[in-house]
Structure 1
Amino acid sequence: MDKEISIQNLLLYIAWLISVMATLGSLYFSEIRLFVPCELCWYQRIVMYPLSILLGIAAYYNDSKIKRYVLPIAIMGGVISLYHYLIQKIPSFGSIKPCAEGVPCNVQYINWLGFITIPFLALTAFTIISVLLLFIKTNKK
């Protein structure tokens, strides 16, 4: 039983660390590299930043019930990131203009290895967090 609790807690801590790295990464790109976030980038931040707080609290208290609340948020963030990534990488999605003002959503500030963009990094973080949360067993209490 103790081993299961420690594995559950480890999964929460890893999910929390991923969310913190994603949060710090987004701040690095905007505050240090001075990349102006587009509208969809802001939506992804709105979803990711609270995950850093919620998962940190849940990991500290070993609260697996947080999965019920955080998993839908992480999935929603992943959907936004996937949509943003498709706008960047598939020309037919580029005709859909969700960003009316400011930086266009199809701008690729980074394009590492030809496919790694900022929305791809966010999508990766949301996906890893979601998968980790799926492996957490919720307490029935």
Structure 2
Amino acid sequence: MNEISSDIKRSNFSSLTFIFLAFLVSLVATLGSLFFSEIMHFIPCSLCWYQRIFMYPLVLLFLVNLLYPDDKIFKYSFPLVIIGLLISIYQNLLIYKVIPENLSPCVSGIPCSVDYLNWFGFITIPLLSFFSYTTILILLILFKRKSVDAE
């Protein structure tokens, strides 16, 4: 009986909408990173690789959660989002010269402060990653609040 009531609570439209939007953001971020590396031939730095490591599984987690609803998606995805967001913040601070270059973990290969993309003078690939992680975090918080309110 508890499983049925859990499915009924989880199946409300707004909570599904938050997870679907988080799925879309993670999918666009994943496809965007693959486009930049595989089509545009931008070689990712170490911090970019770490951000990818934490973004790619989110696509699968959100997709599975859309197919098989589970209110525990917050527990599964929140750590990945927070760690990816922290790495993204660190790389943005490197790019915008808030943190000195000698504190960069990219010791070989592509420097972490390389600026492949610069739209409007300030939009870079790490900034796009920051926006993606922040948007997913907001959607997860809204989902969690909606789930708590439904109980």
TM-score (norm 1): 0.92
Larger Rg computed on CA atoms:
2
Measured in 1, the distance between the counterparts of 2:112 and 2:56 equals: 20
| 1:121 is the counterpart of 2:139 | no
Match of 1:110 among 106, 111, 117: 117
SS at structure 1 position matched to 2:103: coil
Asked if 2 retains the 8 angstrom alpha-carbon contact of 1:12 and 1:62, the reply is no
Match of 1:40 among 44, 47, 51: 47
Summarize deviations over 1:19-68 as a string: whole Å, max 9, x none: 00000000000000000000000000000000010011112223231111
Alpha carbons of structure 1 residues 3 and 104: separation in structure 2 relative to 1, 3 Å:
closer
TM-score (norm 2): 0.86
Which runs of 4 or more aligned residues in structure 1 lie more than 6 Å from their structure 2 counterparts after TM superposition?
A: 1-4
Alpha carbons of structure 1 residues 44 and 112: separation in structure 2 relative to 1, 3 Å:
same
Provide structure 1 residue ranges, at least 5 long, that are not aligned to the other structure.
none
Measured in 2, the distance between the counterparts of 1:65 and 1:96 equals: 37
- For residue 56 of structure 2, what is the aligned residue in structure 1? 49
- For residue 83 of structure 2, what is the aligned residue in structure 1? 76
Asked if 1 retains the 8 angstrom alpha-carbon contact of 2:10 and 2:16, the reply is no
Q: Give the alignment's Cα RMSD to 1 decimal.
A: 2.2
| 1:66 is the counterpart of 2:73 | yes
